[in-house]
Amino acid sequence: MVEVWTEKYRPRTLDDIVGHEHVVQRLMAFVKDESLPHLLFTGPAGTGKSASALAVSRDLFGERWRNNVLELNASDTRGIDVIRNQVKNFARSKAVGDVPFKIIILDEADALTPEAQHALRRTMENYTETARFVLICNYSSKIIDPIRSRCSIFRFPRLDEEMASDLLEKICEKEGIVYDESGLGAIFSVTRGDLRKSINLLQSVSATGKDVTEEVVYEVSSQAKPHAVKKLLEEAIDGNFLDSRDKLQELLLEKGISGIDILKEIHRQVYDLDIDESRKVRLIEKLGDYEFRIDEGADEQIQLEALLAQFAIS
């Protein structure tokens, strides 16, 4: 069975975490004093939030960390019952070892219903001596104020391209994968700094038996090449609607790329167009309208062709 690389290369301790030095320093101070407050980790997907929560647990409890940690995904168990029963029962029992509290990790906590969040707040109040909570979310604004006020907040930004490429290079060297810089750059372009997604894509490319090159990355990821989208966009801007439409159909029908992925790449490319700012503003406004239409279930091909038509006459 092929080992999942995201688990294989997950940081085990706080010393293994890179790219978030300001976060690691604060967490290490809490671990050293064994005075961990409730924590709220927020930021985009694939930036190391869950890995950091588990690393804190391992550093605190050592080999006994599994006995003292409850890890739940709130998007799967988002109702009030899981807070009143499973979380509450775990929180009321004493920890095993010298550390006086257990840790409860709630991943995707922003998926909890408002009722569940209020029940969680009461649990946090009642069991402060025996439990600490680590809440992980993408959007901290979806967490109610009484919970946020009880937590020390840590924000995890995306890794930059240089840092992500360094980590992918180390994995390639350990796994004996042949790669070039354009291939790793393509992975970063596709995943937009989501390291978990980057490692999964790297593993998918390596499974083909081919070298990690730009061509193979875009083929495996089923993503549109930036220069192909830029070309169809430039044709539309210049008023060549039919040529732009032909290139769109090639991406949709022959390459099998989803309409929403093409739309997102168009959004990235608009900012690099050699046109005045006021026209870019109008194009971005139209992009928002058509993204909403596709999200509501409208036909992707018709909507994208209509978008290109708008670009051609704007």
Whether the Cβ atoms of residue 202 and residue 53 lie closer than 8 Å to each other: no
Q: 69-83, 85-99, 257-271 — which one is most confidently predicted on average?
A: 257-271
pLDDT at residue 225, as a whole number: 85
Note the CATH architecture for domain 226-313. Up-down Bundle (1.20)
Q: Where do you find CATH 3.40.50.300 in the chain?
A: 5-155
% residues pLDDT > 90 (the chain)? 53
Q: Which of the listed CATH numbers 1.20.58.220, 3.40.50.300, 3.90.226.10, 3.40.640.10 matches domain 5-155? A: 3.40.50.300
Q: What is the pLDDT of residues 243-299, one digit of tens each?
A: 999 999 999 988 888 899 899 999 989 988 888 899 999 999 999 999 999 999 999
Bridge partners of 42, per DSSP, are 137, 155
Which residue stretches of the chain are H helix?
A: 5-8, 21-33, 49-61, 80-82, 88-92, 114-126, 145-148, 161-175, 181-191, 195-207, 214-221, 226-237, 241-249, 259-270, 277-295, 300-313
Q: What is the pLDDT of residues 109-154, one digit of tens each?
A: 988 888 889 988 998 999 988 999 999 999 999 999 999 999 999 9
Q: Where do you find CATH 1.20.272.10 in the chain?
A: 226-313
pLDDT at residue 69, as a whole number: 93
Q: Would you state the structure tokens that stand for residue 255, as one six-digit string? A: 């390459």
Which of 200-204's residues contact partners 24+ apart within 8 Å by CB, and which partners? 200/4, 200/5, 200/6, 202/5, 202/168, 202/171, 202/172, 202/177, 203/2, 203/4, 203/5
- Please work out, in degrees rounded to the nearest 5, the angle formed at the alpha carbon of residue 32 by the alpha carbons of 26 and 36: 65
SS3 40: strand
Neighbours of 128 (CB within 10 A): 15
Q: Where do you find CATH 1.10.8.60 in the chain?
A: 161-221
DSSP label at residue 63: G
Q: Which of the listed CATH numbers 3.40.50.2300, 1.10.8.60, 2.40.50.140, 3.30.300.30 matches domain 161-221? A: 1.10.8.60
**Confidence class for position 19, pLDDT limits 50, 70, 90:** confident
DSSP label at residue 39: E
Bridge partners of 102, per DSSP, are 131
**Confidence class for position 29, pLDDT limits 50, 70, 90:** very high
Whether the Cβ atoms of residue 248 and residue 308 lie closer than 8 Å to each other: yes
Whether the Cβ atoms of residue 270 and residue 233 lie closer than 8 Å to each other: yes
- Whole-angstrom distance between the N-terminal and C-terminal Cα of the chain? 54
- Is the predicted pLDDT of residue 81 greater than 80, yes or no? no
pTM: 0.81
Q: What is the pLDDT of residues 158-208, one digit of tens each?
A: 888 888 899 899 999 999 999 999 999 999 988 888 888 999 999 999 998
Burial 7-28 (b: 16+ CB within 10 A, else e): eebbbeebeebebbeebbeebb
